[in-house]
A = this chain, B = another copy of it.
């Protein structure tokens, strides 16, 4: 995963343009992708697909002709969606187009102006402070023109057509944790899920933030009911502990599964309530859709100083952290896939488990085996209202033990799924 992040890092992504296409091409080497191109001007819910933005070069040259800020050094240096500019102006006039982080004088901020035509440069405060007065050449060789918005899907077919949506944003330029790590974890998660046919169908969405999610929702409005559960993956690679942010519904099944898995694994972690801010859960959880989509990050949105700065670089993410995020996703979906509701077909009194070989013959011992207890719990709560996870939570038994007990009872014809 780290190698994938490294390859994607230098590209200049935005909500449209060739940077996104190049990124999806790399992901496509790991995973077959269905790439969608949606023309500029397409009405998508309350929004319109904007013009496509591409950029070839951009710099500020000082009075001596030295490139003091250069897009070639980092894609962060240009305000995203900058209109083209080619001018010479005194530093005083240039200043209103320069973005810095005074509190972190060596870091370059990440800034955009998608929906208001503007141009600008992002640079270190330290760089700015060193600039002498004088006439500066500024040049942004960008294009804003009718084109397309690009996003991609990958589907892992399951036993049922009900879907789990895994979404990650692909619009940020050279920021490693936000969200190259999320893209990498999603990519390897899709490969892992395909190892054997999962219960649910898993749909992976690689799309630019906000407008990409809105475009996907607009184009899938009639089919969105298939999405029963979902997870937005972002900031998946920093060294902080994991944070699960609930869906707007707060009690969706995914809101039970992730906290359960995180708690059962005894990892340090945090469970946060929904807020209508953050990543594309904002769109998936908008009240008209109100999907059961939560969000998994390590340190959450805007929760670290390096957020949206040049310090969110390749050193900021670690292979171990990404592997840990991936492991939790796999555990969570392994639980989700088995979290069925059963119905006890022999609900009057206990069925005689002993004659079915499910209960030990010797009576009187005080230490009931967990497997046996799990079967009694499954029988007790399989009234069509309780899921395997409900049984695990109420009994205090591990999910796997309960799921296996349910399997044994199902095999004996005592419960039906």
Contacts and interface: CB of A to CB of B under 8 A. Distances in A.
Interface of A: 45-47, 80, 109-116, 118, 210, 213-214, 217-218, 221, 248, 273, 275-277, 282-283, 285-289, 302, 307-308, 344, 346-352, 354-355, 361-368, 373, 376-377, 379-383, 394-395
6 contacts: A47-B349, A115-B352, A218-B349, A275-B373, A277-B368, A287-B381
A343 to B, nearest CB: 9
Given A46-B346, A348-B288, A113 B377 contact: no
B115 A355 contact: yes
A271 B49 CA distance: 52
Nearest to A282: B350
A286 B379 CA distance: 8
Contacts of A307: 366
A363 B112 contact: yes
Nearest to A114: B363
Given A221-B348, A288-B349, 18 more contacts: A45-B346, A46-B350, A47-B349, A109-B364, A111-B365, A113-B363, A214-B350, A217-B348, A248-B380, A275-B395, A276-B380, A282-B350, A283-B350, A286-B349, A287-B379, A287-B381, A287-B382, A308-B366
A361 B118 CA distance: 10
A47 B45 CA distance: 61
A217 B346 CA distance: 14
Contacts of A380: 248, 276, 285-287
Given A276-B377, A348-B288, A349-B217, A308 B116 contact: no
A368 B278 CA distance: 10
**A287, A347, A349, A382 pick with most chain B CB within 10 angstroms:** A349
Given A276-B380, A380-B286, A45 B349 contact: yes
A373 B277 contact: yes
A362 B287 contact: no
